[in-house]
Amino acid sequence: MQNSTASRLDKLTNQVATIYQEFFGDLPIVEGQIVYPQMPAFQLDYFLQQAETRHYRVQLQFKAAPQVAPMTVSGHLQSDAAGHLILRSPQLTTIVTPALLRSVQRVHAH
């Protein structure tokens, strides 16, 4: 019972933090989508490597033209035999080009 309550409280806390960020955060919002800052290349590479080797579920945000909502997708990363980085999710499987990414964030399981 206590674990279930703690899990629900954690989820509610994360939702409140997300809503607060949307209303009061410094990050721009385009067409209802939060636009995360551009990560430096070394940081993107490091986070992608960690996500792949540790099998983290991640959220990737791709670059977009100004005033256009960037595409954000989540899933698990893996490499194929040719060395391509592949994102797999229940709705999508695609090759990821790191140069086209704006940010990488780990998605924590609740």
Q: pLDDT by residue (tens digit) across 51-76? A: 999 999 999 999 998 888 899 999 99
Q: Sign of torsion, CA 19 24 29 35? A: negative
Q: Residue 107: which of 55, 68, 69 has the closest Cα?
A: 55
Enumerate residues 6+ apart whose C-beta is below 8 A from 14.
108, 110
> CA end-to-end span of the chain, whole Å?
16
User: In degrees, to the nearest 5, what angle opens at C-alpha 62 toward C-alphas 57 and 68?
Assistant: 135
Q: pLDDT by residue (tens digit) across 1-41? A: 556 777 777 778 767 766 766 666 677 788 888 888 999 99
* R_g of the chain, CA atoms, integer Å: 16
**CATH, range 41-106:** 2.30.30.100
